[in-house]
Structures are given as C-alpha cells and as structure tokens.
Amino acid sequence: MPNSVRPVNSAMSNVESSTLLEIANQSLLRHAGPFDELLVERASGTMIWDREGNEYLDFTSGQLCATFGHNPGELRDAMLESFQRAVHSSSLLLSEEVILLAQDLLELLPPNLSKVTLLSTGSEATEVGLKAAKMATGRWETIGVSRSYHGHTAGAAGVTFLPRRQGSGPGQPGVHSIPAPYCFRCPLGATYPECGFACVDVGMDTVDTQRTSEIAACIIEPILSTGGMIEPPVGYLEHLRQRCDEQEVLLILDEAQTGLGRTGDMFAFESSGVVPDVVALSKSLGGGFPLAAVAITDTIAEEAERNGLRFLTSHMNEPSMALIGLAMLTLAKEHVQAGSAAKQGKRLESALDELMDESETVGDVRGRGLLLGVEFVIDRTGQEAAPEIASRVAATCRRRGLLVQVVAGNVWRIAPPITVSDDEIDRAVSIIRDSLEEDEHA
C-alpha cells in the first residue's frame, strides 16, 4: 500500500472514500459482515457527518454508547485532565480517580451491591459477573434467556442466544436457556397476564430436567435490546427473581444497554423493585470510550475471593477511563433528575404510535424512555414478520438523513441520545413517515 494514500489525519486527507473502503477490504477483518459504506468524518450531539459532508440524525447513539450525545465537552475535559495525571498505570495499581468512580457508582446502586470492578467492555463485565457467581456458589451451570445478548467472549457468548452463536463450534457446557418474555410473539402461544409468566415457569422446569448439577446464576437484560427490543411485562422480573430464590440461584442483570438514564430511571431494573445480586454496566458509562463495570454483593465478593477469584486484563482500573466515568455519572445524574429520557421518550413513542395507526406494516411500538423498538409485519392481522420491509425502509431513512438500526431481522431499535431536542425528534419522525409512504407506494 503506497504511503501516499495513508492520511495523517482527517483534515489533511484527500483520499477518495471509495479508495479508503478498498483499503479497508484489503486490510481489515470483516468481523461483522461487509463494511458499511458510510465513512464517518465527525460527530457532535445527535449528528454524524460523513466524508462527503452529508449529515445524519444518529438515532442509534453510536451503538448505544453516546447516551449523552457524541463528543460532549465533559469527555474532552476529562481526557485532557488525564494527560495531566496518568492515562494508564497497571491493573494492579490504583489511583484516586478509580477509587472515586467505584464509590460514586456504588452510591447509585442498591446497598447490597457493595463491590465494583472497573473493566473495558460489556463482555468483560459479563465474564466477571458469571465467574464471581460460580466461584462464590461453588456451582457452575447457568441460565440465559432466548434472544438475549451479553457479548462475544467465551462466557458471554455462552449465555447469548442469538444466531451469532452459530458456526464456532460447541459453546460452554452447563448453559441453559428459558423462553424470552416476547408477548407480541409469545413462544408458548400464551397471552399476558393470563399466562402467569409461563415462559419463566416452563423454562425453569425444563432446565431442571436438563441440568446435571446446581445452577449458579441466571442472567437477563431488563430489556432484551439486540434480540428484538423486548421489554418483559410488568411482574416478570419479580417472578423470575422468586423462581431463582427458590433454588438459591443468583440473579445477574445486564444493564449495558439500559443503564445510566436511558430508560428514564438510573437503572432499568429500578421500576420493577427487583434487587439483583450482580449488575453489569458498559456503553453509557464510557460515552464512547472503553469503560465497563460489574457490581456484586459483599457475600459474593467474599466467597469468590476466598475461593481464589482471579481476573486480569491490561486495561482494568485505568485512571483516564475513571475520569471519563466520573464525567459520565455526573451527566447521568443531571439527566435523570431532569427527566430527559422520560420526557423525550414520551414524545418520540407517541409519534411512533401515530405512525403505527397510519401504516399497516408497523406491527408494534414498544420500549421505555429512549430505548424504543418498532416491529415490522406484512400486515397487523397476521403479524407475519417483515424483515425486508424493515431493512428497506431503514435504508430509505438513511438516504434521507436518519440512522436507525435493524435488530432481530424485522425490528428497529430507535435510541437517540437523551440530549435529543424536540425538533430533532420531529425531523426524525417526519423522515420515517415519508420513508414508510415511499415504500408503501413503490
């Protein structure tokens, strides 16, 4: 590759986007299918610009990391401060900012969650949570939920029940799944609330017939995001907690995509009244920087430590990331207190409900705060999934300047930064409406 096509930085580069994509295809592993042709030039707030100067409303929040907008000034200030202190030290060395972030995080969580570890990714947070649960209980089998997503490392992938499991050989032994609480398409053909949470009971009873030892933990997202924007019905988490308690199974809640204000509460589990044994966090905690955390109870910590718990990476307890995390927690507290996600989410969900009334192919609108889903169907009478329509209309929205993400084939995940303005919501809804009409009349 000639040096002439290697830009020093974006301001100095005059390389054509097509050339850069060609280099990408030659140089980079296609880890998630073909590369997107949108090459990002810059981002700010709710907006992203490509190298050709086109602007897009980012209603994906940059894979749900930019919860408080792209490139907030608080992140810049925190990073600059870290260069005056320490960017990196060692996983085995602590700094004041690391200790303060741990303290601030625990102050936001229920009192029983009293120990925290700072990591880089959500997958790592899942790994530590599962490993601590196993080593604390002396058990090794686990339960996940179908259509769940917890990461791509071995342990996290083991409790992830999506098509991406396929092709890499056998997963970890001793991992079981129970049916997702997917009321729009109940896997058991039941109807809520008459079902009495049959998805939990049938699932747990089935696990009992399959397991060969005791279960250490059950892990679930408060809202199954990547698996189709599935919010469990009222009372579900309480029932799951009860069934776990009956067998002394620890409950792990993965708040990677729901935590720190996105649903309106600081944590999505708060509205259920359920107190978990382990909470995993990432994405919003770093605001685009690699920062994650897992919080556990004193009992789990003491037992796991006594039994020899070890987990090390090169980027645990990073001073620079801790400063980022402190800035993100400040923003989270401000926005939760102001009700940002609840207020803007209500405006957006109401507008999407109107679109559902207008369009026969919008089968369902669901979610909480600014983590919303739109499920596409051929028609609402038969509820047949329509992945082609979901992808086609999303592509039209993008052409018109709006980014939404298709998950689980026929569902959109709509999750703008919670700093999104009324005008930006209205513009996005207008783009969706025009795109739906264009598709219906094509």
Structural domains of the chain, ranges and CATH numbers in brackets: 38-71+339-440 (3.90.1150.10), 74-337 (3.40.640.10)
pLDDT band at 1 (very low <50, low <70, confident <90, very high): very low
Percent of the chain with pLDDT over 70: 97
Q: Per residue in 175-232, pLDDT tens? A: 999 999 999 999 999 999 999 999 999 999 999 999 999 999 999 999 999 999 999 9
Q: Is residue 298 predicted with pLDDT exceeding 60?
A: yes
- Token duo for residue 342: 């609840």
- Token duo for residue 184: 């729009």
> Structure pTM?
0.94
Q: Is residue 111 predicted with pLDDT exceeding 70?
A: yes
- For the chain, give the mean pLDDT: 94
pLDDT recorded at residue 91: 87
Percent of the chain with pLDDT over 90: 88
**Which of 139-153, 157-171, 183-197, 311-325 is the least confident region?**
157-171
Residues 267-295, mean pLDDT to the nearest whole number: 97
Let me know: does 201 contact 265? Beta carbons within 8 Å: no
pLDDT band at 381 (very low <50, low <70, confident <90, very high): confident
Sign of the CA dihedral with 162 first, then 165, 170, and 172 last? negative
Sorted by sequence, the CB contacts under 8 Å of residue 28 that are 6+ apart come out as: 35
Residues 253-277, mean pLDDT to the nearest whole number: 97
Q: Is residue 417 predicted with pLDDT exceeding 80?
A: yes
How far is 295 from 252, CA to CA, in rounded Å? 10
- DSSP code string of 259-297: TTTTTSSSSGGGGGT---SEEEE-GGGTBTBS-EEEEEE
pLDDT recorded at residue 170: 81
Q: Per residue in 324-341, pLDDT tens? A: 999 999 999 999 999 999
How far is 328 from 343, CA to CA, in rounded Å? 20
Question: SS3 of 192, please?
Answer: coil
pLDDT band at 162 (very low <50, low <70, confident <90, very high): confident
Q: Is residue 10 predicted with pLDDT exceeding 90?
A: no
How far is 313 from 123, CA to CA, in rounded Å? 12
